[in-house]
């Protein structure tokens, strides 16, 4: 079978159209799955937001595991024993692709912090909202006390939160400086921060290089739809999650300098 027109890497043979159609169907069904779970519990949310958010983090956990199976994404969890037990925590990590979100969620039950414009995406934005995602305005970031208060409330309910401190996706060669404002919420909540390094080490059975990485990593101006369709055609994806050491954020005072110092410490663990 010849590769599709404009296929970006001839070394990797894409899946056939039948399997592609199956993956598209599973993706659409996963959106329906998330929506049904959220809508079913809307009434419960009126009486117990705590139960609703805890349930949604595990609902997303199960749904994303099915999605990873459909994509033939083989996830290796290193140092999984470092994941805190019996208490809520904040997960942070490097950010190279939209795939980072379901990869993390399939291994650790979490709710997400996402940029505001994701809320406007058809279906995905609505599903994210119903699933308890915290949408942050890129212009103000976590500096608005509103976001920190929401994070503290969710953590107080015993639900884990994940955010990507770089604030955008990159090509993976270098980490951007971590945005520091949201670390203050973790400090005020008194919960551990768990650093996670995400790497796509194998794509289509080949060791990832400068060419094949762009089949998974989404950091340029490529249209989302076209890139996602390419990703769905990949025969397999190898992902490594390297779990760092969880620790409680210590801020002598909530100043920009102290937050940046703390963010730098966690950045070194993710690198």
* CATH number for position 138: 3.40.1130
Which pLDDT score, from 0 to 100, does residue 171 have? Answer: 87
178 CB neighbour count, 10 Å cutoff: 23
Which CA distances in Å does 97 have to 38, 51, 64, 68? 25, 30, 15, 14
Which pLDDT score, from 0 to 100, does residue 172 have? Answer: 83
Q: Is residue 12 part of a domain?
A: no
Q: Is residue 5 part of a domain?
A: no
Q: Is residue 3 part of a domain?
A: no
Which pLDDT score, from 0 to 100, does residue 132 have? Answer: 72
Max CA-CA distance within the chain? 62
Both tokens assigned to 24: 């598209």
Which pLDDT score, from 0 to 100, does residue 145 have? Answer: 67
Q: Is residue 11 part of a domain?
A: no
Q: Is residue 112 part of a domain?
A: yes
Which pLDDT score, from 0 to 100, does residue 88 have? Answer: 94
Q: Is residue 195 part of a domain?
A: yes
Which pLDDT score, from 0 to 100, does residue 251 have? Answer: 64
Which pLDDT score, from 0 to 100, does residue 117 have? Answer: 78
Which pLDDT score, from 0 to 100, does residue 40 have? Answer: 76
> What phi and psi, each to the nearest 5 degrees, are found at residue 67?
-65, -40
Q: Is residue 62 part of a domain?
A: yes
> Does residue 127 sit in helix, strand or coil?
helix
Q: Which of 117, 124, 259, 126 is nearest to 183 (CA)?
A: 259
Q: Which domain holds residue 52?
A: 17-270
Q: Is residue 6 part of a domain?
A: no
Which CA distances in Å does 55 have to 151, 166, 186, 197, 231? 17, 28, 21, 26, 29
Which pLDDT score, from 0 to 100, does residue 259 have? Answer: 62
The total domain count for the chain is 1
> What phi and psi, each to the nearest 5 degrees, are found at residue 89?
-155, 170
State the 10-residue block means of pLDDT for the chain, 271 residues long: 69 93 92 79 78 87 93 96 94 93 95 81 70 71 66 89 89 82 81 94 94 91 89 97 89 58 74 65
């Amino acid at each position: 079978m010849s590769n599709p027109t404009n296929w970006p890497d001839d070394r990797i043979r894409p899946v056939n159209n039948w399997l592609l159609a199956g993956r598209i169907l599973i993706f659409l069904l996963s959106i329906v799955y998330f929506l049904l779970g959220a809508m079913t519990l809307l009434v419960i949310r009126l009486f117990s937001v705590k139960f609703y958010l805890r349930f949604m983090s595990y609902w997303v956990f199960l749904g994303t595991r099915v999605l990873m199976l459909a994509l033939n994404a083989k996830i290796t969890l290193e140092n999984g024993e470092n994941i805190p037990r019996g208490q809520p925590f904040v997960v942070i990590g490097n950010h190279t692709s939209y795939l980072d979100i379901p990869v993390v969620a399939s291994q650790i039950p979490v709710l997400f912090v996402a940029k505001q414009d994701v809320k406007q995406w058809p279906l995905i934005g609505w599903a994210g909202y119903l699933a308890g995602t915290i949408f942050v305005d890129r212009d103000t970031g976590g500096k608005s006390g509103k976001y920190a208060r929401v994070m503290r409330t969710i953590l107080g309910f015993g639900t884990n939160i994940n955010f990507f401190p770089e604030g955008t996706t990159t090509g993976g060669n270098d980490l951007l400086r971590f945005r520091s404002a949201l670390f203050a919420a973790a400090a005020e909540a008194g919960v551990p921060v768990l650093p996670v390094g995400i790497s796509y080490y194998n794509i289509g059975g080949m060791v990832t290089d400068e060419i094949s990485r762009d089949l998974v990593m989404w950091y340029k101006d490529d249209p989302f739809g076209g890139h996602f369709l390419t990703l769905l055609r990949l025969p397999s994806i190898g992902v490594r999650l390297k779990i760092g050491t969880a620790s409680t954020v210590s801020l002598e005072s909530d100043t920009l300098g102290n937050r940046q110092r703390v963010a730098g410490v966690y950045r070194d663990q993710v690198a």
